[in-house]
Structure 1
Amino acid sequence: MAAVAAATLGVAGTAVAAPVQASGDASPPAPGVAVATDASGDAGVLGRTATLTLAPCAGALETPPAACTGEAAGRYDYQLNAGPPQSLTATGGVQRVQIPLHHVGPNTVTVFAVSATGDLSESASADFVVTTPATPYADGDVDGDGHADLLLVGTDADPGLWLARGDGAGGLATPTDIGADGTGINNTPADWNDAQVLHGDFTGDRVQDVLAYRPAGDSAGQAFLQYGNGDDLPLSPYSGDSEWLHSDQFTDYTLNGDGDNPTRLVAAGNAGLDDTGIADLIGISGDAANGYQLDLYTACGGCSAGSYGYARTLAGPTEAPDGDDDWNDFSLTTAQPAGQTVLFAVKKSTGELWESTNPSQNATALIGTSGTWTRIDVPWNPRHVPALVFGDVDAAGHVELWAQAGMCATRYTLTGTTLERGATVDLTPGHPRHRTGKHRKGSGQALGH
């Protein structure tokens, strides 16, 4: 990450002029700043925290400490990389604060001391490195606690991207909006409206990133990638924390010479069996005139998400799960039991649910291809087909499929070829959390585009 300019401290990564001195008094000395690291300069692992030490002057952190002179600091303003500035009341001595580690690689924290009268010190900074987790986070485990979590796109009344932490047994914590700063369009929670949200490791840093894909509208075919924090804190849509994936990355020309972008896109782990370390994607692409098909999108190993592109067609227009030419009537979701991607397809007009697996990990029988589909018995009425938005695996190894209606989420658990309905949880912010149905225990600067 680029170091923050020494003379400025900008909101959300936007450099601004240093505050005007409020008085003619002497400014405080530049503060002492240190971040605890090992001998290699590593402060810790992505998703964890590091200790930032602050002192009235640099000499106060020496051994033995030196006395500080000049005007006392009333507070410290500090900024991590290009993130939003934070303030901390100065105590007059050495003090410590925990800072989140959200960026793999080089990081810089920049600090100003501000007197009670508003006088500003020269800046001081510390550089450190953040490393990737030794073991990749499990699919759907956004916060890294070992249990899959639930991500929901909000409603008009409660916009945003809501994270409900899971307990591994179907329980969900009160949700928090990790998408409050939007997706780089207007930088508001409403940016998430109408987006298809994918979770997976799209950057190779071993934590769960978030991809907001738009199949229609002004940004049709484009996706906005926000790098995972490795914890449950809000995502950042700002430069260095995110990137746009443009529509030509997902365009399929095999049915239409003018190209088609996916109408539905899901993350698919290592579905293509290329072991790139970056999650594959599967999408339904096509148009009414030429038909629809199922496509695989991949990125090259060691590359960024900007290398995503159409890889191959998994199933042609007449190879939908039911053997008909009706891919446009299906919605998709995935899960990764035992680390193997499983693809689910719901026929919206009838409620049929199909599961595609590749248990032998055969490169000639990738999920989604003809011959890999099994019909699943479902508990819902064909006239009231739920919108499946999320798939994960509970602590007992059972696949969970989550349906969303407004801010309510219903859990469905798969056993063999039978799907069983579980609890419905109201995740409306500030709303009493009612459960219904059968419940079974157990199992920078904003980027433009």
Structure 2
Amino acid sequence: MDRRICAATAALALSIATTSAARADTVVGPPTISGPNWPADYNGPVPGPFPTGTPIDLTLTPGTGVTPTKYRYQVNDGQILTVETRSGTANIQIVPTGRNGTLNVTAVSADGTDSRKVSEKFIGISEPPAANQDIDGDGKPDLVTIGDTPGLPSGLWLASGTSGGRIRVPAKDIGTLGAGFNSPPDPADFNGGQVVVGNYFGDGFQDFIVYFTSGLQTGNAVLLSGSGDGSTLNPTAGNQQDLRDLLADYNGDNPLEFANAYDSMNSDGSGDDLISISGDATNGYYLNYYECRSIGVTFAPQFRISTNTPDGTPDWQNWRMTTTRVPSGTAMYLWKPSTGDLYLWEGVTTHDNGDTTGTITYTQYKIAESWNTGATFSTFQAADFATNGAPGLWTVTPAGVATAYTVSDLSTTPNIHAGAPQTLSPAN
């Protein structure tokens, strides 16, 4: 063989070996995350739970290979932060904002080489519990409505509340991943549903029960855990629970609609209770009470309440119902669209008679006559956004127009005042 070819071959081999060694010397191994209640085993228990809003102290240590000079880290989709190291080690603080979080960390060497990104999930708990109907964690109640209407595409839409019932628009779809019925995820899962917010899983966050009176899911309800920070819901195992057939009553009737009953029977259960309008033409129409006896599960109706509607008749099928929690307890608005009669029941308390029947007590106020007579609302939601001691109301039309109503002068002659309408659709 030509000596020149041999020399060139040897030089090339030496160059490749030298380059390979240099590359090996610059490899940065993925870091390790450690801290109180943060297991070192990536395949072990999920870290947490950590109280939302409380900083978590963590230590980042280098993996194999080159010692990093800094780390880049990010929580969920938040700002990417950088921290310098001491001999490859650094301390950071992160703050959980909701029920589910992800911490992403990348080690960086002096020459700018990145390690493989480490992503670890962790869980939060709301301490103290989130404010009633506060979905995004800012302490104020929020408006929630279901799409597939002329004004909103399919999905579960959140409009964050501000002051006096005003909301931030456009609304955002937190139901883009669906309700867990279909694969791939489909926001049309929510089409035709009724949604009621409450602390159903019992860990302080505001969750969602979506109930269907028609379509393929008729009689079914699905429980979805809230994120705690207003982010997209994740309807996967542990965050979603099917309540199929659990709402049928002793006559086999599914609810016509339902509302959060909070703890109206003073049982101090693990999560919020439910109250529904149920019945049929043969057995009549009435209220049903459902006690939440264990975390994330609402069992069959505890008892039937055969009290009359506010106008003294048993025609519950002609009324709409919505509730909220105020300092005096559970407050319930009842509206009869055909006449526009609007009533408020405050201090709602229920009692189980022990024989599948029960009673309900309340203080009744007639708020208005001819209020939105004949209107069709896709959402009729009570919320404690007012500052005058009386709960407020949100309505949403099928066109996606939201209006906040404040109520005053309960002790004399009640008045109801409509705020300026707001359009929810992101397309307008």
Q: Same fold (TM over 0.5)?
A: yes
Residue identity matched to 1:166: G
> Corresponding residue for 1:32?
31
- For 2:211, give the aligned amino acid: Y
1:419 aligns with 2:416: yes
Pairwise CA distance, 1:95? 9.9
Which residue is 1:244 aligned to? 242
Sort the Cα spacing of 1:131 and 1:100 in 2 relative to 1 into closer, same or farther, 3 A. closer
The correspondence of residues 48-447 of structure 1 with structure 2, limited to 5 A, is: 57-58=62-63, 68-69=65-66, 100=96, 102-103=98-99, 130-133=124-127, 135-156=128-149, 157-174=152-169, 175-186=171-182, 187-247=185-245, 249-253=246-250, 256=251, 259-300=252-293, 303-315=294-306, 319-338=308-327, 340-358=329-347, 363=351, 369=360, 373-378=364-369, 380-384=371-375, 386=377, 389-394=380-385, 396=387, 397-405=389-397, 406-415=399-408, 416=410, 417-431=414-428
Q: Following the alignment from structure 1 to structure 2, what is the Cα–Cα distance between the partners of residues 36 and 110?
A: 15
What is the TM-score when the length of structure 1 is the normalising length?
A: 0.70
- Distance, in Å, in 1 between the alignment partners of 2:234 and 2:121 is 21
Moved more, 88-97 or 28-37: 88-97
> Does the CA contact (< 8 Å) of 1:295 and 1:312 recur in 2?
yes
**Amino acid paired to 2:384:** V
**Separation in 1, partners of 2:166, 2:358:** 29
1:324 is displaced (CA, Å) by 1.9
Q: Which segments of 5 or more consecutive residues in structure 2 lack a partner in the other structure?
A: 1-22, 40-46, 109-113
User: 395-404 or 30-39, which moves further after superposition?
Assistant: 30-39
Sort the Cα spacing of 1:91 and 1:356 in 2 relative to 1 into closer, same or farther, 3 A. closer
Q: Deviation at 1:47?
A: 6.8
Q: What is the distance in 1 between the residues matched to 2:350 and 2:282?
A: 33
CA distance in 2, matches of 1:143, 1:410: 20
Secondary structure, counterpart of 2:311 in structure 1:
coil
Cα RMSD (Å) of the superposition?
4.3
Q: How far did 1:376 drift?
A: 2.1
In the aligned structure 2, how far is the partner of 1:383 from the partner of 1:131? 43
Q: CA deviation at 1:126?
A: 6.1
Cα distance, 1:400 vs structure 2: 0.9
State the TM-score, normalizing by the size of structure 2.
Answer: 0.73
One-letter identity of the residue aligned with 1:404: V
Partner of 1:191: helix, strand, or coil?
Answer: helix
Amino acid at match of 2:158: L
Contact 1:43 1:50 in 2 (8 A): no
Larger radius of gyration: 2
Q: Deviations over 1:299-322 (max 9, x none)?
A: 12xx22224321111225xx2322
Cα 1:52–1:425 change in 2 (3 A) is farther
Deviations 1:98-134 (A, max 9, x none): 5855448xx88687999xxxx996x96768664441x
CA shift, 1:385, in A, is: 6.1
| Partner secondary structure for residue 314 of structure 2 | coil
Corresponding residue pairs, total = 380
Percent identity, aligned pairs only?
A: 30
Q: For residues 337 and 318 of structure 2, what CA distance do their matches in structure 1 show? A: 6
